[in-house]
Chains A and B, each alone.
Chain A
Amino acid sequence: MFGLIDCNSFYCSCQKAFDPRLKHRPVVVLSNNDGCAIARTKEAKDLGIKMGDAWHLIRNMRKLEHVAWFSSNYPLYADMSRRVYEVLLDYVPRVEAYSIDEMFLDLSGFHEDLSVVCEQIRTAVDQITKIPTCVGWGPTKSIAKLANYIAKDRPELEGLCDLSASNVREKYYRNLPVSEVWGIGRRLAPRLHDAGIRTIQNFVDADEAFIRKIMSVTGVRLQAELRGENCLPLSEAPSQRKGMVCSRSFGSMVTDYTSMREAICTFTSRAAEKLRAEDLECGHLTVFIQTSPHRRQDEWYAPQVSLSFPPTNNTFSLVKHATRLLHAIWKDGFRYIKAGVGLNELAPSNRQHSLFVQEDEQKSRASDVMDVINRKFGQGTLNLLGAGIQKKWAPRQNMRSPRYTTDINEIMVATTF
């Protein structure tokens, strides 16, 4: 038996956990650079704020004057996610962190009523992390995912939905649209509709060969999962990364080479740090820069360029490659809004794979030392000078709340009563 626990409006709930003034207010968290809404409490949804709404277009609307807006505070969200995960491990033997706010639970081996167990889990998460959740469960992960959706969608279920019985499942399958199934998105649903597949029941009953034709083996597996045949085991460790991208939209347009080089240098350093933290190396690097596609008055320029090289995870070598690539595509006279660095051809690190390339031992030790210092004193304590000090291009984050749980200078303050 699998469960899926999902944190309600996770980023907003993290903000509310440390700020009781927000209890009855609509709360919205904005994307990097304060661009658009990425998390909304129910009160904010009721005001008509949609995912992806551009903040600068709606911020001054009269009906939204009581909304509490926040810049995203990922250090806080990551730490709260960790706390949720650890609370869950006190109750179930295995947990799969599926995303920052959704975790699969191994509910096999419980003799108690699972409604009681899941309610206990919800209460514990709520008390310990102050994050409200919904839990759904069933014999497969796909069913648990659907159960969770139902628990969230129907307030009368009070946050719990049990789809372990096939007759209960059938009732929902007949009434729910096929687009609510995990993995059937907006792209696939119309094609299924054309074939007369509208409800989940239609999908489960559909001809296997037909499903295979339009969704390949994934679709067939999904059919089996929805029938209660377990095809997707719980995976506790994430699969190895194939690539990583570090990119940002800028707080203000970048027009000079120096600022752009700083940005590229910063992204590359951060990506290299992540490589080393996961004991990986990369052999391929891409640099891209972009002007805004929304500003018709400006000319559009969005080049990208890549380079292969002997695998490394050394900040100094990677920054050298990235700067060379940037130099090759840079053109004066454009207003750049975004840039990024992508690392590919990742493999476990092994510092002696080539007889002919001698990596500078001093440089790789310097990278390691940077990691130690940055881990100890906070990200960005020690940087290459090329990454810039003032960072004029840094993303806007004007409404970021304190990092309540990860920085001793920003912890919650209690006034003595």
Chain B
Amino acid sequence: MTTSYAGDRTTGFASPASDVIEGPIDLSEVLSLSKPNRYPVRVSGTSFSSRCVMNGDVLIADTAGVPASGQLVIASASGQIILAELRNDHGRWLLISGNGSSQPLYVDPARDVEIWGTVTALVRTEV
């Protein structure tokens, strides 16, 4: 006797599904978490609740992502890791606050304002 479900070897009637067993869904694969460019990041703060990003959510950052206007990004600014919205301002990237509580910041590596990765997915484990 074994303790795991052997759906293709039933003891009484043969299972009509024995050839098509597919196993559970692997969310890590759905989110491509094993790719070298994917990193999970925890959200702290509420200023992006307008975009349904809540305190404590896990975002999947993609460090190979192509930035686009309107996208959420993980950025580093004056020594901090922040979540911001990206906006294109006449060819320059601008980091925008989620609720207008902070002044917009231009992306400028010379001033230590850099895009770390783009946000590609959101995981919430408690609803």
Contacts and interface: CB of A to CB of B under 8 A. Distances in A.
Given A21-B79, A414-B41, A83 B36 contact: yes
Contacts of A416: 43-48, 53, 55, 82-83, 98
Interface stretch (A122-130, A157-165, A229-237): A122-130
Contacts of A124: 64
B39 A413 contact: no
B113 to A, nearest CB: 10
Contacts of A408: 40, 58
A412 interface: yes
A370 interface: no
A170 to B, nearest CB: 38
Interface in A124-149: 124, 127-130
A414 B64 contact: no
B41 A20 contact: no
Given A129-B63, A417-B102, A412 B42 contact: yes
A376 interface: no
Q: Which of A82, A129, A412 has the most CB of B within 10 A?
A: A412
B9 to A, nearest CB: 20
A86 B35 contact: yes
A130 B109 CA distance: 14
B11 interface: no
**How extensive is the interface on chain A, given as a class?**
20 to 34
Contact of B43 (A20, A87, A414): A414
B82 A128 contact: no
B84 A417 contact: yes
Contacts of B80: 20-21, 415
A87 B85 CA distance: 27
A129 B42 contact: no
Interface string B62-93: 01100000000011110111111100000000
A414 B36 contact: no
Contacts of B116: 130
B97 interface: yes
**How extensive is the interface on chain B, given as a class?**
35 or more
Contacts of B83: 414-417
A405 B64 CA distance: 16
A417 B97 contact: yes
A413 B76 contact: no
Contacts of B74: 412, 414
B15 interface: no
Given A84-B36, A408-B58, A414 B82 contact: yes
Nearest to B42: A413
A121 to B, nearest CB: 13
B84 to A, nearest CB: 4
Interface string A79-94: 0001110110000000
A129 B117 CA distance: 10
A411 interface: yes
A413 B81 contact: yes
B61 to A, nearest CB: 8
Interface string A3-29: 000000000000000101101000000
Given A129-B63, A414-B81, A20 B112 contact: yes
A18 B45 CA distance: 19
Contacts of B41: 411-414
B107 to A, nearest CB: 12
B82 A415 contact: yes
A415 B98 contact: no
A415 B41 CA distance: 10
B89 to A, nearest CB: 16
A358 to B, nearest CB: 23
B81 A128 contact: no
B59 to A, nearest CB: 7
B108 to A, nearest CB: 14
Nearest to B37: A128
Contact of A23 (B40, B85, B112): B112
Q: Which of B55, B82, B96 has the most CB of A within 10 A?
A: B82
Contact of A128 (B59, B63, B84): B63
Nearest to B82: A417
12 contacts: A129-B36, A405-B39, A408-B58, A412-B74, A414-B44, A414-B81, A415-B44, A415-B80, A415-B81, A415-B83, A417-B83, A417-B98
Given A414-B41, A416-B48, 12 more contacts: A23-B112, A86-B35, A405-B40, A414-B74, A414-B81, A414-B82, A414-B83, A415-B81, A416-B46, A416-B53, A417-B84, A417-B96
